Chains A and B, each alone.
Chain A
Amino acid sequence: MNSVEAVAINAAAFVITLALFGIYVATLGHNPLDVYYVLWLGSFARQISIESTLTNAAPLMLTALCTAIPARAGLLVIGGEGALVVGGVATVLAGMLVAGAPFLVGVTFMSLAGALAGGLWIAFAGALRQYRGVNETISTLLLNYIAIAVMYHLITGPMRDWERVLKTSSWSIPDALRVGALPVIDVHWGLAAGIVVCLILYVVMRRTTFGFGVDVLGGNPRAAQMAGLPINRMVLICCFMGGAAAGLAGAFEVTAVHGFASESLVVGFGYAGILVAFLSRQNPAAIIFLAIILGGVAASGGLLQRRFDLPDATTQVLQGLLFMIVLASNAAYGRLNVFQPAAWRTA
């Protein structure tokens, strides 16, 4: 795919979205220019805006990978929410095990535990598909409910911290193992992890024979099988990597944000990640930018509410418009002559 083409089409989709959103707010009696300015002010104009945007974006990068990586192998996985939750619970358990360990050892262990739990969770759905013919979309959707139910069971019983009366939650990980903010910018370390993991998976998916094999598999599974590719193993690995990314998001929600597992892990990061994965057309590097854009929409949505007294649903209108138009713009790929090599041009 031509990357100039991708950038141009996405930029056009973004402009069209803003134009339509402008019409929408105009019908509500607000000046679209004021609204655009507030969108900008709330998302990128100041340090606090950028910090809000990036804080919102951090978990989305990782949960988006949970859909994007398996999608490259031809699977539609929507289990990011569940993988994040099991990752968070595993992180708390790991934190209990390594209480008293040196900071780096403890945090690494907890992160790996979260990633491993999330990875196995989605790999299980991949295995069900490859060996038992269970549709992975349905199974990951149901696994979300199972993960959330298991977490509720644990935090209301076996792992409950009875000291925390009004908010039902698990035990807290040791304070010494809590991860703080990044240097310079007040955003937690999950952001750095998200960017690094996205870049690593970009290289893996775009620059290695494994990644090429996955693209072949995603393009035509039969051809991949005929070519002798180990498709079962590749599907499992893709599911594991995607699930591990979402599990890592859960690990950072625990180590950097809450310190414990609670219903605050279930706030829709997994589902928003699906949106990011589709917007980025399953490209791990593009996920970074699109997560930031959606994070910015969410961050400025708050300011939009406050300045114009608009309901929170306005932000969802903007997100929905963006999603529909970017998906519709997919139809434009390959049809704009200007982006085609001269020899392919039709007119």
Chain B
Amino acid sequence: MTRSTLSRRGFLKRGANVVAASVAASAVPGMVAAMGNVTVGFIYVGPRQDFGWNQSHWDAAQKIAAMDGITVVEQENVPETAEVEKVIQSMIELDGAKVIFGTSFGYWDSLKAMAEKYPDVLFTHIGAIWKEGDPTNVIGYRGYTEEAHYLCGIAAGRMSDTRKIGFIGSKPLYFIYNNANGFMLGARSVAPETTMNVVITGDWNNPVKEAETTNALIDQGCDVIIANVDSPKVAIETAEARGVYTCGYHSDLSSLAPNGFLTGAEWNWASGAEFVRAFVEDDPYPNLKRGGFREDMVALSPFGEAVPQEVRDEVMAAKQGFIDNSLQLYAGPIADNQGNVIVPEGEVRNNDDVPFKLGIDWFVEGTIG
């Protein structure tokens, strides 16, 4: 007994400068050695089964873990403090991680600092705000979820009886405006008389307010609800209990509303797998990547049972339109809800017109709120 303790201590001392992962793997029985494999670390800001933002990344982690030669290590509830950097270092030095997925916006400064410290490790971030001068081993990527919202909007427009739909947003930020506009333009493409009530809660995560808002929107006559908050679970369950339709956001939430779920706008963060592959095989990779269905960076949730086949076909046709670039989200004439013409008749803003989309701080015509 004494002997084994002593030898482990000596082992640890000697091992201090050796690759940490191999030491840990050999010292802990039952652990699979990471040698020859690539270890990928995922860091989540909240619980990974949150029916929302973090879960969309967890979905990606599971897909990436299924790839050959990839081991995934995950840590949840990591606040955006000094702790992030230590978690990253711990993943690199103790687990031997070669790729780090930082899945919260506020990790950005920490990711950049760590990228400079560990130039042979790849870091990804979900804000797509990389710019010239930032470390080249950092990738920013983000999907055009407004395209998926457009498809949800088509389903909502077809299914709504009251011709009123409801959108709950977290913060007044460009992508929330884009998602709301996508939802509305999709609905109006099939039911032009539709109006949309929008409520911005001001918080990423405020379940009480989200439930109140959902009820208020339903009381105003909205019969399709979509919630752009960190975890739309509360809004969807509230709407389901009130007997109205819902659309999901972030990840597949169809299980939350067996009766009223139409479809949902999902991220496809697993598209980050290509960065891992490129990095491992020493191929070039972009530092900044945005894309929609065409680039396979967003996805659509499975349809709920309430959605009839002809609506499904219509939605899937529009999805194909995004994929082959024949459908443009912001195609004129588009006016905002103050009456200003934004995109005149005959003009089209391409789906990849990022500067235009980043500048959006208005709601399309027919939006109330």
Contacts and interface: CB of A to CB of B under 8 A. Distances in A.
Nearest to B204: A263
Interface in A34-57: 34, 37-38, 41-42, 45-49, 51-52, 55-56
B106 A299 contact: no
Contacts of A34: 28-30
A302 interface: yes
A312 B76 contact: yes
Interface stretch (A164-172, A196-204, A239-247): A164-172
B54 to A, nearest CB: 11
A220 interface: no
Interface string A164-208: 011110000000000000000000100000000000000000000
Interface in B36-81: 41, 47, 73-81
Interface stretch (B88-96, B287-295, B312-320, B342-350): B88-96
Contacts of A49: 90, 94
A48 B85 CA distance: 11
A38 B28 CA distance: 8
Interface residues of A, number: 38
Interface stretch (A116-124, A134-142, A303-311, A332-340): A303-311
A81 interface: no
Interface in B307-333: none
B82 A302 contact: no
Interface in A211-268: 253, 256-258, 262, 264, 267
Interface residues of B, number: 39
Contacts of A51: 86, 89
Give the interface centre of B77, B90, B129 by most chain A CB atoms within 10 Å. B90
Nearest to B76: A312
Give the interface centre of A167, A302, A305, A311 by most chain B CB atoms within 10 Å. A302
A299 B86 contact: yes
B355 to A, nearest CB: 14
Contact of B105 (A41, A47, A52, A167): A167
Contact of A52 (B12, B74, B86): B86
Nearest to A305: B75
A190 to B, nearest CB: 9
A306 B32 CA distance: 13
B28 A48 contact: no
A330 interface: no
Given A45-B12, A167-B106, A302-B78, A52 B29 contact: no
B76 A305 contact: yes
B167 to A, nearest CB: 19
29 contacts: A31-B29, A31-B30, A37-B28, A42-B90, A42-B94, A46-B16, A48-B20, A48-B86, A48-B90, A48-B93, A52-B83, A55-B86, A166-B173, A167-B105, A167-B108, A168-B171, A188-B82, A262-B106, A264-B79, A298-B83, A299-B90, A302-B75, A303-B90, A303-B95, A306-B75, A306-B91, A311-B76, A312-B75, A312-B76
Interface of B: 12, 16, 20, 24, 27-31, 41, 47, 73-83, 86-87, 89-91, 93-95, 105-106, 108, 127, 129, 171, 173-174, 202
